[in-house]
Each structure stands twice: as structure tokens, then as C-alpha cells.
Structure 1
Amino acid sequence: MLSAISLVLAIAFFALGIAQRTIWSPPDTLVQQVEEQVTTPALLVDTSVLTYHEGAETLQVESDGPITVIVGRTHDLVGWLGETPYTVATAQSGAEVSTEVVEEGSAELPESFENDLWQDFHEGEGSLEIPMDLPNGTSVLVIGDGVSAAPSDVQVIWPNAAKYPLFGPFITAGFVLLFFAVLFLALGLANHRRKRGPQRATAKELTRSDRRAIAKGKAPLAIRGAEPEPSPESASADEPPAPEAEPSAPEDAQSSETTDDSKNKEDDENA
């Protein structure tokens, strides 16, 4: 019984452990992305989005045209934009990325995007994927060609460190229960064999008095291994019938013979 219960529990824990790696597996990455369409020439990704999760992040930008990504301190980027309208993307704790259009004026972006204040600067066509690990107070400015709307397909990706939190405990518990199932099964088989015992009981060693009783045909029935004394009925049935005794002479004949013997004895004495 214990072996069966342990085996069922072991299978259940193995199934739970496998489910942790398959159907219940958390995503490999954590993603924050801009959900709304950007209509301004520049998109400022605030530090609250870039530091939403712990660890190093990766900025991924997709567009149909040229892409420029500028990394710098937030107040330096805002000062450089000046009176150019731009969209700022922020994220509150436990919420998705929200966007807000900031319109300081109608000025256009400067023709050159390079500046000595920037911490990093990237240019590309179609897509950009930039690994980074930015501290608080640092933001990212995403620009297209500087005239049309900035790219809207912007994602910040983090690797998910807590992938399978219960996989190890479930698999370990499964192996422990499987071991106990095998152990209980072995103990049960050994106990079953011990209870069965020998198929035939051994004979008891006879004492000297028992052997004498057997020789005289008076062995007690309590002696193990000794055959019981046959009953009178069975003995009479097995033995052949005894011969009949010869008929004895009549009493008068015996008395006459005694008288004749006494007379003959007296005659001999007189002679």
C-alpha cells in the first residue's frame, strides 16, 4: 500500500516538474513596449521605462526608414529638443507604457543629431537592437529622418531570470518518493515470503522414551512425525483370522481317567 502511494506521488511530482518547463513555463523575456502610434518627429523613452525591471536591458526599434537612437541624460535630451514637439513614453509601477505629446513649439529638429553631451549614439536602417544597462536619470531619444513621425515599434526587453522556480524541488521530490516506493516494495516482498514459511513442517526429534514406546507399539499420538496407533477395528480387519482351538475332552472322561490311574497306582504299591 505504501509502495503504491509513493509511486503515485512520485509520478505526480514528476508531472508537475515537467509542467514547470512546458505549459507553466514563464516567458523567457520581459517586455515593455510603446503601444500607441507616435505622431511627432522624436520619441523620448524615459528612464522609468528603461529601468522598469532589474538587470541589463535591450532596446529594439523597428522602422521602414532610417533610425537614430541617442542615449544621454534626460535633462540634456530635453534641452537639446528645445521647442521641437516630441512624445515622451513613461511607465508607472505595475502599468503599461503610456505616451504623452509635449508641444513646446513648432521648431524642427537640428540637422545634425550628433552632440558631445550624448553617452551613446546609434544609426541604422530598418531595425536596431542595442544592448545597454542604463542607470536612473538616463533616457533614450528615438528619431526617424527628423521630419516625419518617429518609429512607433519600440520595445525594451529584459531576460527573465526566474524561469523555472519549482522545477528542481518537484523533480527532487519525485526521485525521493520513487526511492521510497522501491524500498517499500522490496520490504513487502520480503515480508510476504517470510510469512509463507516452509511448505512442510519438519519432524520432531524423538527421545529415548518415545523410541521405546514406538517399539512396543504404544507411541503417543502427540509425537510429530509418528504414525498414530491403529484402532482395534482396523487391526482386526488387516490381520488374518486366528485358527479355531480343538474341542476339549468331556469332564466325565477326565474323571474316569483319573480313577483308573489311582487304581493302577494302588495295585503297584500292594505288589
Structure 2
Amino acid sequence: MRFVFAVVTLVVAALLVLLGLAQRTVFAPPDSVTSSISMKSDAPITVIPAKALKGIPGRESIHIAGGSKAFAAYARSTDIKGWVGDASYNQVSFDKATQKLVTKTVPGSSTTPDPADSDLWYEQYTGPELNFSLDAPDDISLIVASDGSDPAPKTVSVTWPLSTATPLVGPLLSAGLLVFIIGILLFVWAIRHHRRTRGPRRNSGGGRTRLPRSERRGSVRSTRRAALGSGAGRGSRGRRMVAVVPVVLVASLGLAGCSSDYWPQIQSGDSTAAPTPTASSTAVPQASDLQPPAVTVSQATRIIQRITAVQTQADKNLDATLAGTRFTGPALAQRTANYTIRKADKTAAAPVTIPSGKITLTLPQQVDSWPRTVFAVVQDATADTKVSPVGVMLLQQTARDPYKVDYLVGLEAGAQIPRVAPASIGSARLAPDVKLLTMEPDKLAGAYADILKNSDASSDAKYFQKDGDTLRDKIGKPYKDAKSAKLPATASIAYSSETATDPSVAFATINAGAIVSVSLNEIETVKPTKPGAEVNTEGEVKSLSGVSKSTKGLVATYGVQLLFSVPPVGSSDKIVLLGFSQGLISAKEVS
């Protein structure tokens, strides 16, 4: 019966081990699941929100095919919604009941612009067919298209990884090995018991000769020694078996436990205590309570790179039309006039340019609508101390428009940009008439124009810091007085200024102040003072106006872009000029 128990135990052990191995072979779960959808409509766009991409947890592998060409990009969901606008599109969602992707068509216009290279996208993919992976955050969506005119690719499939954990493998193998050892021990016990209980056999023969007493004693001693020797051998083998069993057990358990996927995982409760709000903590706005920043740092870097590429080509060919694809407002006005001047005079200086360097500051607007603005500081890559960093104010009018340079200024030597929020949070854009600053943003240009005209005699001079302001020497009252003194007696010059029509742009800083970009126009009117007298032109005025002399006079308008640091209301600090650029934007004969 003991042999029966041992054999049954060994069979049970074998079954347990085989069942454990089957968990990783025959009964192994699939490592992924795929859901495919086929678009029935001819909509030019397909939108897959993060909720659909995250229908099943895990990193998504996406395959797109079936169009004239394939384009895909992911971005913030609100940005994609803004770009799609009123266009017809396929809306993809995830059906939890069937665990499949489904789609419906939202009607609208049948075409869109080509979505490739939009400044909104975090990343984009193009090709005949697309295969890529995402680990989509909750606030992003995926946009799929061909070229905006043709229907979007017809086939989209998403593959999610599945857990291949088999938590019964470890327990089954361990139990099988343990039962196997028990079976071996039972088998050894049965054999030993059988040997102990097997008695000496009687000799039924009658012709056996009786040995003498001395010989019988020697035979008995020899038999005992043989018995003792035989017993020692079995004991030795038993000890070796006892030594081998733990080694086999430990090795087997190690193989069975080499992966946490082979064992049940104990789910522990969340032991992290939620922080208790306090008066000080609730006063600080959290990032989740704010509107998202207009761009990320990587987006801003890519946008600046695209702009500098256009700038380089436009400046080389003096192409104002090309420049207009990436410049607007005061920055474009200066560049357009400069191109005209340089076509007539090859020695004329080029306008302020964005250097091919690194972005040392990115300050996006907190906004989820349009228009949007972003402020950046770009440092020259060569680290040449003679090349000052530039401040760039970018503007995006609509979701489908590229970001364009609205203001572009060279920073003053030693200019200290006020502390601002990190790019991941961004900053609020302040209203032009906000009353929380030493001076309202839309009044800065007029006040500074009066300082350029009247210097310290201006009533607004007390609000502005004079030290470090080099623009006053370039176009301020001393410059104007010197230029008037050089005119002949037959001519006169008059100076005036006007606030440009472009709105001011103000970003809040950490100290409750603001970084403000404004522009103004400085106007010089030169007229003859005597009948028959003529006014001669020279330099940039001559090149831009195309007039060499005039009996009526000439009007030259200089565009001035200004960047200020404005302290909060009640502060004893003064308004500081951080940077500027100025150039002739118009020259014509007096009408």
C-alpha cells in the first residue's frame, strides 16, 4: 500500500507540473488585441480622441493605410478641434460593450488645408502607410488625413498590449515539485519498510553439517560486520539524497519564481494620504486650474526654426511676399521697407534678425482659443558677446494659421528679463488697459514718444529708467536737435509721433508686473522754407521714396518696436526698456 501512495503522489506531482507548464504554452493568453475600423465616408479628416486611444490600457500601436497618402499628427484635443473647425470628419470612439473602435461622420465642408507642418502638432507622421506607437496622454487627440482635399485614409487599426501574466504558474510548479519530493520520500520509506519487514528464510534441508562452535562464532561476527557495512552504505546514500533534495527544490523554486508574472500579485490599497488644504496652499493657483499654455518648449523651438529658415531665404532674396508668411505687424513693416531700400542700395544695413541659436526663454500665453501669443528670447549660437539676444513676440491669429513674428527687438546690453512662470504653465496676457501696472500697456508708447521728444522735461520721464536706455541717444532729443542744426537755412524739420495701430502685448510676470511689447511711429517732415528752394534726399529716405529732390518736402516715418519691463502698481521700481528695433518704414513727398 505504501508503494501505491508513493506512485499516486508522483503522478499528482507530474500533473501539477504539466498544468503549470501548460499555463505558459497551451493556455497562454494573447499578448495583444487589435481593433480596426474602415471609413465609409469621404470626409477629409479622421479624429481619434485619447478616450478612444485609451479604450484598452497600454501603449497604442497604430496602423493607417488606404488613402492617396497618409498623414497623422497628435496634439492637444482643443487644438485639433480648433484646426478641424467646420470641416466634415470621421469621429472615432471606443465601444466598451464590444471592446471595439466605432466611427461616425460629422458633416461639414468637404475640404481643408493640408494639415502637414502645422505649428499646432506635437509630432507628425507622413508616408504611403503609417505605423507608429503612442502612449497618449488624456488631453491629446490624433488627427488623420491625406492632404486635406482627398478623403482621409480608409483603414485605421489600433493594437493594444495585453498582460501575459500567468499567476498560477509559480504555485503549480512549486506545488508539483513539493509533491514530487514527498512522493520520492514515500517511495524510499516504502522500500526501507519492505526490507526491514522481510524476515530470514528457514532451511528445510536435513543434511546440513553443524559447524564447530569457534567457526560458528566467526561466521556470526562476519555476518554482523557485513550487515553493519551494508547499513552504513544505505545510510550514506540516504544522506546524499537528503542533501540533493534541497538543492533541487531551491533551483526549481528559483525557476518558477524568476518572474513576477508567474505569481499572484497582492493588491495593496493606496496608503498615500491626501494633503489637507491650508489657507496658504489654496491661495496658490494650480496648473490644472489654469488654461493650458499655447505651446510647449519643443513646439516653440520647432516654430522658431521654421521662421528662421523662411527669414534666411527671404532676406537673401529680398522677398517680402515670402517674409509675409512668417512675419506680420511692425516686424513685417520694417522688413518690407528694408528690402526695398536694399534693392536700391546694396550697402544698406539688414534689419534685426532672429539668430540661429538656442531659445533661452519661452513664455507661452495661457489660452485655449485664438488669437494666441508666445514670447521667446533667442541667443546667438556662437555666443558672440557683440551679438545681442533678441526678443520675439509670436502671434497666431487662427488655428490654421502659422505663428508669425509680430514684434522683433534686439535686447539692450545687460537687460534683465523679469522672472516669469515656467513654459509648462505659461502666463496670462493682460488687457491693454489693465490698471494693475505702474502704467497701462496702451499708454506706454505715447509716454515714451514724449520722452524721445522732450527728454527729461517730459512729464512721463519720472516713470522710466534712464540708465541703460541707448535708444534715447539714437533717436531722442539730442539726436533731433543735432539733425535740425545741420539743415540749411532754406529748409526746416518738424518731429512728431503717433502710436501705431498694432495692439500692445503684455505678459504677466511672477512679481505681478509685466513684459510689454508696443510700437510707435516717429515722423520727420522736412520742407523748404523759401519759394523755389528744394529739399535734397539721401541714404535710406532716397532709396525708399525714389525721390532725389523735392520742392514740396518729404515725410519719413520710422517704425519703432519697444519691449518694456513694467512693475506693478504701487512699486517704487521704474519702467525699464529691455530692447528695441527701429527702421524707416515709409518715405514720400509731401502731398
- Aligned pairs (5 A) from 1:1-271: 1-34=4-37, 37-63=40-66, 65-95=68-98, 96-103=100-107, 105-125=108-128, 127-200=129-202
Identity of aligned residues (%): 29
Flag the 1:171–1:193 CA change in 2: closer, same or farther, 3 A: same
Amino acid of the structure 1 residue aligned with 2:177? F
Flag the 1:14–1:194 CA change in 2: closer, same or farther, 3 A: same
Amino acid of the structure 1 residue aligned with 2:106? V
* Structure 2 counterpart SS, 1:197: coil
Ranges of 4+ aligned residues in structure 1 off by more than 6 Å: none
> Could you say what the CA RMSD is over the residues aligned between the two structures, in angstroms?
2.2
Q: TM-score, normalised by structure 1?
A: 0.66
CA apart distance, 1:20: 1.4
* Structure 1 counterpart SS, 2:66: strand
- Number of equivalent positions: 199
Distance 1:187 1:124 in 2: 73
Distance 1:130 1:77 in 2: 19
Flag the 1:21–1:37 CA change in 2: closer, same or farther, 3 A: farther
* Structure 2 counterpart SS, 1:34: strand
* Structure 2 counterpart SS, 1:155: strand
CA apart distance, 1:112: 4.4
Do the aligned residues in 1 keep the contact of 2:67 with 2:151 (CA within 8 Å)? no
Q: Deviations over 1:48-102 (max 9, x none)?
A: 1211222322222233541101101222112211121110110143432111110
Distance 1:120 1:10 in 2: 55
Q: TM-score, normalised by structure 2?
A: 0.32
Please list every run of 5 or more consecutive structure 2 residues that lacks an aligned counterpart in the other structure.
Answer: 204-591
Structure 1 residues 51-60 or 40-49, which shifts more?
Answer: 51-60
Distance 2:34 2:148 in 1: 27
Distance 2:112 2:52 in 1: 24
Distance 1:168 1:35 in 2: 43
CA apart distance, 1:6: 1.5
Distance 2:109 2:43 in 1: 11
CA apart distance, 1:133: 1.0
Amino acid of the structure 1 residue aligned with 2:117? E
CA apart distance, 1:30: 2.7
Aligned to 1:206: none
Please list every run of 5 or more consecutive structure 1 residues that lacks an aligned counterpart in the other structure.
Answer: 202-271
User: Which of 1 and 2 has greater Rg?
Assistant: 1
Flag the 1:110–1:4 CA change in 2: closer, same or farther, 3 A: same
Q: Which has the higher contact order (CA 8 A, sep 6+)?
A: 1
